[in-house]
Structure 1
Amino acid sequence: MKILLSNDDGFQAPGLLALYEALRDLGEVEVVAPEHNNSAKSNALTLHSPLYVHRAANGFRYVNGTPADCVHVALTGLLGEMPDLVVSGINNGANMGDDTIYSGTVGAAMEGYLFGVPAIAFSLVHKGWAHLDDAARKARELVQHLVAQRALGAAPWLLNVNIPNRPHAEIGPFEVCRLGRRHAAERVIPQTSPHGETMYWIGGAGAAKDDAPGTDFHATARGHVAVTPLQIDLTDHEALASWAPRVPPAQP
């Protein structure tokens, strides 16, 4: 089995190192990750400047670009052949609910999915790397189970997985669930630059708005590992018919 491993916290992030150690004996694991932290870069690709690939002392390759850049470059020329699985993470903090839209961790996995490769994005629920090795063990368990279920040979799929920061024995079962929702983000934080100009910092994420049973928020709050299958189609299919009469009619 060939696994492409990436992340958005950078190639030196503890989460990437832990995930590599957890998966390295399951197959041939190639690491292509960003040179620096690229959190909240979503699916962004770098189109107007060149990308460079370097190899670190530990064998990891890193790119001066986004998480999606890393997977894109790997799948379209850097690797000799397509991997069987793309794995992204382990992220330093949750990617639940609306966070998935912005997440570079999910963006890296999604890039693999767009190329027809099954993909998983792993995140810790809380920042700070507490119980990281335990989370890596749970990530390995899921990958091993999917391999045993022959899930890698089927049509491509994309999973978003959030693991509670708990000792392994205290982590609950895997729970397949939908994304919850958050309240609107907090207000921007204005500051004055050394040159007297007003600058702004993006505020923190809002609190959970929809954390009902069946959501990722609800699952992780109970200590379970939240597993959410994602799709790419953003079409509001139920609204297609209602929008048809609202657009300008065809000209005679």
Structure 2
Amino acid sequence: MEKPLILVTNDDGITAPGLRMLVSIMKRIGDVIVVAPDSPQSGMGHAITLDSTLYSKKMKIDLQNEDILEYSCSGTPADCVKLALQELLPKKPDICVSGINHGSNSSINVIYSGTMSAAIEAGIEGVPAIGFSLCDYNWEANFSPAEDFIHAIVTQALHNGIPKGTVLNVNIPKLEKNELKGIKICRQAKANWKEKFDKRTNPMGKDYYWLTGEFELLDKGEDTDEWALANGYISVVPTHFDLTAHHVIQELNSWGL
């Protein structure tokens, strides 16, 4: 049987250790093509490049995987997927996987995530897609404990299919392999960032601001991604990109507009 074609991307950049681990896992499943940003693009959300040119360069990052075709892209994660699907791939991929992100993309963080935006862009184009994130921001983070779980999730997604209009948001707690309890299918927790700006002044007397904040969990539910992560489980949240609040339509119709 023909191997599935797998598009691998991320937001931490093409040299990021998390992406290198994801490539090695996907190589066991199918034929891999990488299209990823040439520099870190964390927190870019679903930004796309409109007012400047995009550049792409064929790369060879991992000499142990010389059979894998890799491209760096000067744009955002969403740009990478657009360029991959329209110009760089020989055919439509069977699945797109994004990550493994260095840091959590659970709950409200999914809104800002370049990792998930790349997966969502693939989903918009009708490609099954999954975003993977490890709750560890360290560049030297250990991704290996979740290797078998990532393999299983992608294999099952290829076998069963992901419903149209849906992408999977997978977050992995920072634990050793023997501490991971398994996988939980969850909803996105209600949470927010209590943000503030640290105002400073540079040597030239000009004010500048550094965004800081504290994460606020507003959800006590035991069916959420935050609960799963806090209790040793890998969370899988089915996420859709139809932003319509369908339950509010009837109420708005009653306004008599």
Normalising by structure 1, we get a TM-score of 0.91
Greater mean deviation of Cα atoms: 229-238 or 87-96: 229-238
- How far is the alpha carbon of 1:212 from its aligned partner? 1.9
Count how many residue pairs are aligned between Structure 1 and Structure 2. 246
Please tell me the residue identity of whatever aligns with 1:8: D
Map 1:64-143 onto structure 2 (within 5 A).
64-128=74-138, 129-143=140-154
| Correspondence for 2:29 | 26
Secondary structure in 2 aligned to 1:4? strand
Map 1:1-252 onto structure 2 (within 5 A).
1-58=4-61, 59-128=69-138, 129-147=140-158, 149-151=159-161, 155=164, 157-246=166-255, 249=257
* Preserved CA contact (<8 Å) 2:7 2:32: yes
**How far apart, in 1, do the equivalents of 2:72 and 2:147 lie?**
21
Give unmatched runs, 5+ long, in structure 2: 62-68
**How far apart, in 2, do the equivalents of 1:213 and 1:207 lie?**
16
**How far apart, in 1, do the equivalents of 2:78 and 2:223 lie?**
29
Greater mean deviation of Cα atoms: 167-176 or 64-73: 167-176
Write 1 or 2 for the structure with the bigger share of strand: 2
Please tell me the residue identity of whatever aligns with 1:48: D
Give unmatched runs, 5+ long, in structure 1: none
- How far is the alpha carbon of 1:156 from its aligned partner? 5.7
**Could you give the per-residue CA deviations for residues 29-69 of structure 1, whole angstroms, max 9, x where no partner exists?**
10000011101111111011000001223352111110000
**How far apart, in 1, do the equivalents of 2:119 and 2:166 lie?**
10
* Preserved CA contact (<8 Å) 2:166 2:241: no
- How far is the alpha carbon of 1:8 from its aligned partner? 0.4
* Preserved CA contact (<8 Å) 1:135 1:165: no
**Could you give the per-residue CA deviations for residues 148-189 of structure 1, whole angstroms, max 9, x where no partner exists?**
x3326x646300000112222221111100001223332112
Please tell me the residue identity of whatever aligns with 1:112: A
After superposition, the Cα gap between the structure-2 partners of 1:75 and 1:170, relative to the gap in structure 1 and judged at 3 Å, is same
**How far apart, in 2, do the equivalents of 1:228 and 1:205 lie?**
23
**How far apart, in 2, do the equivalents of 1:229 and 1:196 lie?**
48
Greater mean deviation of Cα atoms: 24-33 or 121-130: 121-130
| Correspondence for 2:64 | none
After superposition, the Cα gap between the structure-2 partners of 1:96 and 1:65, relative to the gap in structure 1 and judged at 3 Å, is same
CA-atom RMSD, angstroms? Answer: 1.7
**Could you give the per-residue CA deviations for residues 16-40 of structure 1, whole angstroms, max 9, x where no partner exists?**
0011011112111100000111011
Sequence identity, in percent?
37
**How far apart, in 2, do the equivalents of 1:145 and 1:242 lie?**
39
Secondary structure in 1 aligned to 2:200? strand
**How far apart, in 2, do the equivalents of 1:194 and 1:31 lie?**
42
**How far apart, in 1, do the equivalents of 2:147 and 2:85 lie?**
24
| Correspondence for 2:66 | none
- How far is the alpha carbon of 1:136 from its aligned partner? 3.0
* Preserved CA contact (<8 Å) 1:130 1:166: no
